[in-house]
């Protein structure tokens, strides 16, 4: 389902809907894939390649971001800033959003990243500080300023925080 909707979103919104590979069938679209947790990225690249719907390429101008959380896949597609005319504005560098959708599903035997797959050492640092200072991380809302690569956000959510707003300027 993700592969089908990803292809439809990328083709229709990027204006290349009529492209074909000579056989009358639409040509495969070159796309970069980013996934979280990282383990789903390889599976998605494999599925895209097998389906013929898209050709995963690390330097493709279309970018598909797939995040698995709370039992669903959130997918966003962007042109990565290549369709914008002014490279100086921050909105052009961010790229044009070509589509977004949610697909209910699961990752075989998993519900999200484990502590062994922490995004960064920051995950462990926050857990240690919380333990040493008796901090409660199971709050309703937290803000993670400078969130890249997301270790604190993952730590907060896995510790019971209901909502984390991540800001990475």
Cα angle 17, 23, 27; round to 5:
35
Mean pLDDT across 148-160: 86
pLDDT in tens, 63-104: 888 887 777 778 888 876 554 434 444 444 444 555 666 666
Express each pLDDT in 23-50 by its tens digit: 555 567 788 888 887 778 888 888 878 8
In order of 36, 126, 137, 147, 162, the CA distances from 130 in angstroms are 25, 6, 7, 18, 17
Given a contact cutoff of 8 angstroms between Cβ atoms, the answer to whether 163 and 140 are in contact is yes
> Among all chains, which residue has been given the structure tokens 């409660």?
136
pLDDT at 84: 42
- Contact indicator for 75, 47 with CB cutoff of 8 Å: no
pLDDT for position 90: 41
- Average pLDDT on 121-136 reads 86
The predicted model scores a pTM of 0.47
Residue in 25, 151, 85, 59 with CA at minimum distance from that of residue 166: 151
**Domain regions of the chain by residue span:** 2-104, 115-167
């Amino acid at each position: 389902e993700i592969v089908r909707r990803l292809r439809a979103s990328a083709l229709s919104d990027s204006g290349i809907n009529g492209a074909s590979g000579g056989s009358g069938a639409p040509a495969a679209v070159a796309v970069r894939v980013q996934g979280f947790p990282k383990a789903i990225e390889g599976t998605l690249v494999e599925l895209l390649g097998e389906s013929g719907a898209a050709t995963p390429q690390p330097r493709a101008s279309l970018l598909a971001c797939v995040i698995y959380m709370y039992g669903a896949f959130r997918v966003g597609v962007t042109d990565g800033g290549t369709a914008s005319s002014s490279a100086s504005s921050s909105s052009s560098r961010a790229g044009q959003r070509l589509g977004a959708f949610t697909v209910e599903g699961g990752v075989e035997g998993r519900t999200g990243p484990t502590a062994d797959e922490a995004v960064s050492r920051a995950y462990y640092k926050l857990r240690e500080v919380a333990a040493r200072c008796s901090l409660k991380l199971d709050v309703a809302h937290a803000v993670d300023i400078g969130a890249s690569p997301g270790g604190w956000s993952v730590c907060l959510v896995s510790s019971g925080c209901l909502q984390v707003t991540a800001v990475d300027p």
